[in-house]
Structure formats: structure tokens, C-alpha cells
Structure 1
Amino acid sequence: ESNALVNISLALSETEKIGLKNVLQLIVNSARELMPNTQQAVIHMLDAENQVLIPAAVIGYENFVEGKRKMRLGEGVAGQVIASGETINIPDVETDARFVKLGIPPAFRSLTVAPVQSGDQKLGTISILSSTPNAFSQREVQLLSALGTQAALAIENAHLLESIQQSLKETNALYRINQGLASSLQTDELLKETVDLLQKSFHYYHVQIYVADSESGNFVARAGSGWTGDALTAQKYSLAPGEGIVGYAAETGTPFFTNHVDQVVFFTRNPLLPDTKSELAVPVKVGDSILGVLDVQHIPPHDLTQRDIQLVSTVADQLAIALQNANLYEELQISLQHEKAIRNQLVQNERLAVMGRLLATVSHELNNPLQAIQNALFLLREERGISLQGKQDLEIVLAESERMAGIIERLRSTYRAPQPQDFQFTQVNDIVQDVLALITTHLRHNQVSFHFDADPSLPMIPALADQLRQVVLNLLMNAVEAMTDGGQLTVTTRALPDQAEILLTVSDTGSGIEADILPNIFDAFVTNKLRGTGLGLTISYDIVIKHRGRITAENNPERGSTFSVWLPLENREVI
């Protein structure tokens, strides 16, 4: 006995190396060896949640299945031992009333069952059986109780070791998750890293993070583990507040978990996760604001425990801070981009203002000598003795000088500060039709088809009609020139009452705008045309700004480019 107990004690000290299963097997082997009349011995471990005793180590059973049979609490002598915490010795099952026959004659006559417990914690039982009545003496009953204590120590050591290992694993995972969350400000990246790390570290069936959608109010799958998570994220799978366990946690703002999802009335099973038995959903929130939900699902034989709740709740808290920081970073980036766009627009406006003043000065200075030239030409035309050829040449010079005077006057009017009374209510659809009438022949010669998608309810706007006509003409001519091999030119007008604006777009199917000049397309002298001056779009931009509108240029996804012009419905303060 002493040698056997010493061997068991040594095994207990090396449970980490030997393993709980081998230690328990050593104990049942020792039981049969120390008590000669023992024919079978078995250690049952208690499954407290399911209220059953599960065989953990057996010896002496010819029928392996019989030795591995589970017993419900309350069944037989083992159930009585669990309830009382005392060892029970049945000298003869045929005559002892404590042994309840279940219809099948037992294959043994003697039975002794001792509790396996640590303090008040019931862990299971250890039993020895014999086909001989009165097989076990009081000394052997005491010895079996001692072996039960040894089994309890082995189980406690194993649980302690398992707890330590689990704690180390959780600490390591939390550290890695925290490091990942702290080092990344990209929302999608940090969410994906979190779910992958949770799934790989703790072997959950599935991990998914849902993020609140400000528009719909639903919680949308943003990142998930494995291909299932990628599929749910790709299809933007969502749950409304109160829908499913995720929706319930989001609506109540508290964690919810169950190991029996089919017993939860509001559980919603996803077809991509057919085997889920356990689910834990923890809100990701900052204060009273719920940013999302961290959802963990598991399958048999695994159950979720209080440790899982603590772990996932801790990750959710870290995730909330990281999401808040990422959202702040994204908002900061948007603000910086907006500030940069405003700064660029101010620089552009200043450039245009300088160019406008320059052109106004140049046009004024050119106008004086041009008028002198025109006056001289008019006098020369009245002279006698000029040949027919000379008169024809003189008429050409006069016509060109008048055209030059018209160009100078348009430049002066374009860059002359407008007055509120100069703006007249204008129908942009009519302006497009007027410009189309001017360029129809040009379109036909260049094999360009034209489509005008006009909004019939387009309201009139306060505008300088001649200058808007110049803008439309510039945009259409540029579009035609971009389609060297012909193509499709599409003009669209739309009313935007919610924005108190109208929208005019001009799209072509040409070669598009080169990437290096697109950001500066409205700057003066920026062009990719061999014979262009690079002033047409600059003047158009200035005219639109003068109307308190906006103009943008972008390349189409497939081919060509689109210019968009927004003009206000009201006569705002003019520039």
C-alpha cells in the first residue's frame, strides 16, 4: 500500500508531464492491485452542467462500452455518494436495499463507492466491484477513500494547471490584441486582426464583429474569422437591434451568452453557421454609445464559460477604444482633406483673380490702339482710287479688327465685377439647346453623336446668360476635341431641390484627362492639346465661381471624362 501511494504521489507531482488521464488510470490500477477481490474499478468525473457522471478511467471491463457508460445523478449508489459525500460499501447487492436494481441483473455482488471531492467541491466518484459477496473489508473501504482523495488531488492539479495555461494564453492573446489595436488606425485592418487572433488562440467556431450603421441603424458584419466571416462581410450581412442574439445585446447594451441557442426564442441561425450551439455577444461601446457588437460562437463538445465572457468583454473594451481612435483619425483625415481642398480653391481663386486683373488690364490697353486702327481703316475705306483687290483686303482687315474688338469686350465683361441686377433668370436647358445649334455641324464632321438628358422640371436660375453660354460651349467643344475618333457626347441637367441647386454634367467617351494634369485642370495654361491655350477651362471655372457655383472634373471608370457644374437656385452674394 505504501509503495502504491508513493507512486501515486510521485505521479501527482508530475501531472503536467504525465497527464490527468494517466494519473487517474494509475489510481484505478492501484485499486485493483491493492484490493485482491476487486475485479473492476472505475473513476467517474462529474459534469455539473449536464448533471452526469462520465467515466474517466476504468479497468477490468471486458465490455469496453459498458465500462464507459455515463450515469445520471440520482442513479444508483454513485448518485447517493455524490449527494452525501460519504463512502458507501454494499456487501451484497442482492440483499442491500441501498442498491436499486434497474431491471438488468448486475454482473457483480459487492460494490464500494467513495467520493472524489476537494473540500465541498464534488468532482466525482471512485468505485470498485466484485462478483463475490462481502468482498471488501473496512480496511479496503478506508483505502478506497484515500484513493478518492488522491484522485481529487490529481483532478485539482489538472484543473489548476489548465487554469494557469488558460490564463497565460488569455494574457498573451490580450497583449497581442492590444498591441495590434494600438498600432493600427485603419478600422478594417484592426477588426480583422482581432477576430483572427481570437479564433486562432481559443479555437472558437466563429468570431464576427458587427459595426453600427448610422444610416440604417442596423449592425453590419464588418470583419469575421475564416471564409465564413469573409462571406458575411462581403454580403454586408446585418441584424437590426433586437434581432438575434447580436441584436439583443446591441438593444440592451449588455452581454448575452447561452450554451443552448435553440432554447433562446430570439436566436437567429445563419445558414453559413449551421452547427452553432453556444453564442456570446458583447456590446462594443463607449459610454452609452454602442459602436458595435463582438460575437463569438462555438460548437459541441465545447461550451462557453465565464472565462470566455470575461475574455471577450475585455477585448470588446479594448476594441471600443481602438474604434473610437480610428473614427477620430478618419474624421481628422476627412477634415484635413476638406481643409486642403478649401486651401487649394482659395489659391485657385487668387490665381484667377490675378489673371483676371491682368487680362482686364491687357484688354483695356489693347482696346485703345485697336480703336485707333479701326478708325484709320474706316477713313481709308472712304479714300478714292483704291483697287478692287485693295477694297476686298480692306474689308477683311476691318472684319477681323471687329472680331478682335468683340473678343476684348468679352474678356472685359467676363472679368468686370458683376452687379446683382446683371443676373437674370435663365433656363439652362435653353442655353444647352442654343449651344447645340451652334456646334451641330461640328459634331457631325467629327462623328460625335449627341444625347441631351434634360430635366423637364429644371427651374430657372439667376445667371449671366452669355457667360453661362460660354461655359457650356467651352465644355462641349473640349469634349468633342477629346474624341478624335468620334464617340458619344452626353449632357444631363438635374434639379437638386434639397441642395437648392441645379446640376449640369458633360460626359464624353474620349481618352480622358491625363493623371498628371487632372488636379490642375482649371489652372491657366494647363492643357494637353497641341493647339490649345489652356484658358478655356480657367475662364469657365471663373464664371462658375462668379455664379457662386462649383465645377469639377473626373475621369469615367471605363473611358472618357465628366465635367459637373452646380449652380444655385437663388441669387446669392455675387463675387
Structure 2
Amino acid sequence: KELIVANEQIRQLVLSQKEFIDITAHELRTPIQAISGNFELIKMTYVPSLFQVSSNRQNSNNIDKDFEILFKDKNRLNDFAFGLVSTYRNAQRLEKLVNVILVASRIESNRLELHKESFNLNEEIQNVIKDVHNKIDLSSHHGDSPPSIDIVFEPKEDPITIFADKIRIFEVISNLINNAITFSNGESITISVKKFQNNENEMNHVKDDDLVYVERDIGKKKDECVLISIKDKGKGIDKEILPRLFNKFVTKSDQGTGLGLFIAKNIIEAHGGRIWAQNNKNEKGATFSFSLPINK
């Protein structure tokens, strides 16, 4: 019986590794193809002299001539600029994918390191929102036309200073906001941050449905904590995947590795916090929440 169980575990591990390789290869191929295609256009259409082998002086003159011709044709110049921006964005996407794979690998081998510092959580959330809006504006400016998203964040208390890994928390918040945008169908997203004192049965400043989850997950340690919630008005979370939502490779999106929520869960739990998700009770959409000890 033990041998059967061991063989099944090995089989599941092999299947998981194969799925990881298949998903990763697909996700890496997309930006690589875009980058390669953009450079091929530069070589064939816009500035072919960049790729020609000749003496330095002659090549410099040829490049100057190609750019002079390009600058005189506004339509071709705009197409050239669009290709450069597309290359930049796909290079960023490639870098992000590699980072996701590396972080997931560190988590799997228990090598995830935290570099904690004190910082204002509200300020960091505002930085994430600015970063998200900048990327949306850039995409819109160059023809991708994503839906305009209203992200509402009005902190009730400021500052809220926590002791945590600033970069990792930025990654978690960014991942949750981008997920909300993906499934929100252009509807607004609301972010809330609340401090509470986890004193057994007494919790200050928090008066909503999330209390049940916070109390259950954190336990009865007398810690001051913070609760961050990101609420969207999209189609909600599929009941089929809700119990497995924070496992590896679980996603309903046609893009992404399915590792984002798995990584977010491990980052939050490494800080001594908890993360969960639930469909909104009296309206459409879902809410992702996570809790963190403030000074742990």
C-alpha cells in the first residue's frame, strides 16, 4: 500500500513538472516571438543598416541615411516607435516571467528570503496604483486600448507603518490589483486598509465580514495587525477553482503561469500573515484580502 502511495506521489510530481514546463514554455515564447518580430521589422523595413556588416564609418553613414528617410515619413516613424515600445514592454514581460519562475523555485526549495524594513503601507499601495495606471496609459497610447479602470483607495488612517519586505509586499499588491483588473470588465476596484488589535475576542477598527476570516486565520495572539482588501465588481471566482485558488497553476485566465496567487500566499505567510478570497455576498465580483502583523 505504501508503495502504491509513493508511486502515485511520484506520478503527480512528474505531471506537475511537465505542466510547469509546458506553461512556462508557452508564456516565454509569446514575448520572445514579439521581440524577435519587432527586430525583424527594423532589419527589413526601418533601419536595415543597423544589421549590416561594413566599416564603422560607412556603416555610420548608412545608419544616418536610414534614419533621415525614416524621420521624413511620419507614418513609418510612428510604426517604428510602436515597435520599440512593444519590444520594451515584451522585454519587461519576459523579465517578470523569469522572476516569477525564480521566486516559485525558491519557495519550492524553502529558499525564499525576506528583507524587512519599516515603511508606510498606504504610500506603497499608492505607488502600486500609480505603476498600474502608468502601464495602462502606455498601452492605451500605443494602440492596445485596455479599459480605463477606476481604482478607489481612500485610507481611513495614515500613516500605517509596517515592518515587512517592501518589494515582496509591492509584488503581492500589484498581482492582486492586476488580477482584479483582468476580471473586472472595466468596473471600478476598491482597496481598503484597516488596522485592528487581535486581542482574543476583541478586535478594534474592523467591522465587516472579513473579521471571521481574520480571527480564524491569525489565532489568538495579541498582535496589532493590518487587513488589506481588494474588491472588484467582475464575474467573481469560479466555484470549481475557489478551494484550489492559491495552488500552483490554477487560473481561469488565458494568460499567465498560474503562479501569481501561489507566490502571493507564500510571501504573506512568510510574514506571519494570511491570505484568502471570497465572492462578494450581495453584489457581483470578488474580494481578495490578506492580513499582516504590523511589527512582526
Q: TM-score band, normalised by the shorter chain?
A: 0.5 to 0.7
1:188-337 → structure 2 map (5 Å cutoff): none
Judged with a 3 Å threshold, the aligned counterparts in structure 2 of structure 1 residues 437 and 400 are, in CA distance, closer, same or farther, namely closer
Partner Cα distance (2:93, 2:150) in 1: 30
Aligned to 2:276: 552
1:148-163 → structure 2 map (5 Å cutoff): none
1:15-34 → structure 2 map (5 Å cutoff): none
Alignment length, in residue pairs?
198
Corresponding residue SS for 2:189: strand
Judged with a 3 Å threshold, the aligned counterparts in structure 2 of structure 1 residues 570 and 449 are, in CA distance, closer, same or farther, namely same
- 1:489 corresponds to 2:189: yes
Preserved CA contact (<8 Å) 1:414 1:543: no
Partner Cα distance (2:95, 2:180) in 1: 28
Judged with a 3 Å threshold, the aligned counterparts in structure 2 of structure 1 residues 547 and 518 are, in CA distance, closer, same or farther, namely same
Aligned to 1:264: none
Residue by residue over 1:387-430, the C-alpha shift from the partner in whole angstroms, topping out at 9 and shown as x without a partner, is: 758xx999x9899668745653564357543556x211122211
Corresponding residue SS for 2:190: strand
1:115-130 → structure 2 map (5 Å cutoff): none
Structure 2 unaligned blocks of 5 or more:
1-12, 29-49, 67-79, 141-145, 199-222
Find the partner of 1:562 among 270, 279, 287: 287
- 1:408 corresponds to 2:133: no
Residue by residue over 1:127-171, the C-alpha shift from the partner in whole angstroms, topping out at 9 and shown as x without a partner, is: xxxxxxxxxxxxxxxxxxxxxxxxxxxxxxxxxxxxxxxxxxxxx
Preserved CA contact (<8 Å) 1:524 1:534: yes
CA displacement at 1:478 relative to structure 2: 1.0
Preserved CA contact (<8 Å) 2:162 2:295: yes
Judged with a 3 Å threshold, the aligned counterparts in structure 2 of structure 1 residues 497 and 478 are, in CA distance, closer, same or farther, namely same
Aligned to 2:243: 519
Corresponding residue SS for 1:431: helix
Residue by residue over 1:92-133, the C-alpha shift from the partner in whole angstroms, topping out at 9 and shown as x without a partner, is: xxxxxxxxxxxxxxxxxxxxxxxxxxxxxxxxxxxxxxxxxx
Find the partner of 1:454 among 155, 164, 177: 155
CA displacement at 1:532 relative to structure 2: 3.6
Partner Cα distance (2:92, 2:255) in 1: 23
Find the partner of 1:430 among 115, 120, 123: 123
**Larger relative strand fraction:** 1
Find the partner of 2:267 among 543, 551, 557: 543
CA displacement at 1:465 relative to structure 2: 1.2
CA displacement at 1:446 relative to structure 2: 1.6
Preserved CA contact (<8 Å) 1:457 1:495: no
Partner Cα distance (1:552, 1:487) in 2: 22
Aligned to 2:224: 500
Give the greater-gyration-radius structure (CA): 1
CA displacement at 1:471 relative to structure 2: 0.9
Judged with a 3 Å threshold, the aligned counterparts in structure 2 of structure 1 residues 439 and 399 are, in CA distance, closer, same or farther, namely closer
Partner Cα distance (1:460, 1:406) in 2: 28
Judged with a 3 Å threshold, the aligned counterparts in structure 2 of structure 1 residues 516 and 460 are, in CA distance, closer, same or farther, namely same
CA displacement at 1:533 relative to structure 2: 2.9
Aligned to 1:463: 164
Corresponding residue SS for 1:448: coil
Partner Cα distance (2:176, 2:99) in 1: 21
Preserved CA contact (<8 Å) 1:425 1:463: yes
Preserved CA contact (<8 Å) 1:414 1:467: no
Partner Cα distance (1:545, 1:521) in 2: 15
Partner Cα distance (2:163, 2:128) in 1: 19
Preserved CA contact (<8 Å) 2:100 2:260: no
Counterpart amino acid of residue 490 in structure 1: T
Counterpart amino acid of residue 459 in structure 1: I
Counterpart amino acid of residue 120 in structure 2: Q
Aligned to 1:212: none
Aligned to 1:137: none
Partner Cα distance (2:151, 2:122) in 1: 15
Preserved CA contact (<8 Å) 1:458 1:493: no
CA displacement at 1:447 relative to structure 2: 3.6
Partner Cα distance (1:515, 1:405) in 2: 32
**Larger relative helix fraction:** 2
Counterpart amino acid of residue 98 in structure 2: I
Aligned to 2:180: 479
* Superposition TM-score, scaled by structure 1 size: 0.30
Residue by residue over 1:151-195, the C-alpha shift from the partner in whole angstroms, topping out at 9 and shown as x without a partner, is: xxxxxxxxxxxxxxxxxxxxxxxxxxxxxxxxxxxxxxxxxxxxx
Aligned to 2:9: none
Residue by residue over 1:14-58, the C-alpha shift from the partner in whole angstroms, topping out at 9 and shown as x without a partner, is: xxxxxxxxxxxxxxxxxxxxxxxxxxxxxxxxxxxxxxxxxxxxx
Structure 1 unaligned blocks of 5 or more:
1-350, 367-380
Partner Cα distance (2:88, 2:169) in 1: 29
Find the partner of 1:509 among 220, 225, 233: 233
Q: Which has the higher contact order (CA 8 A, sep 6+)?
A: 2
The percentage of counterpart residues that share the same residue type is 26
Counterpart amino acid of residue 474 in structure 1: N
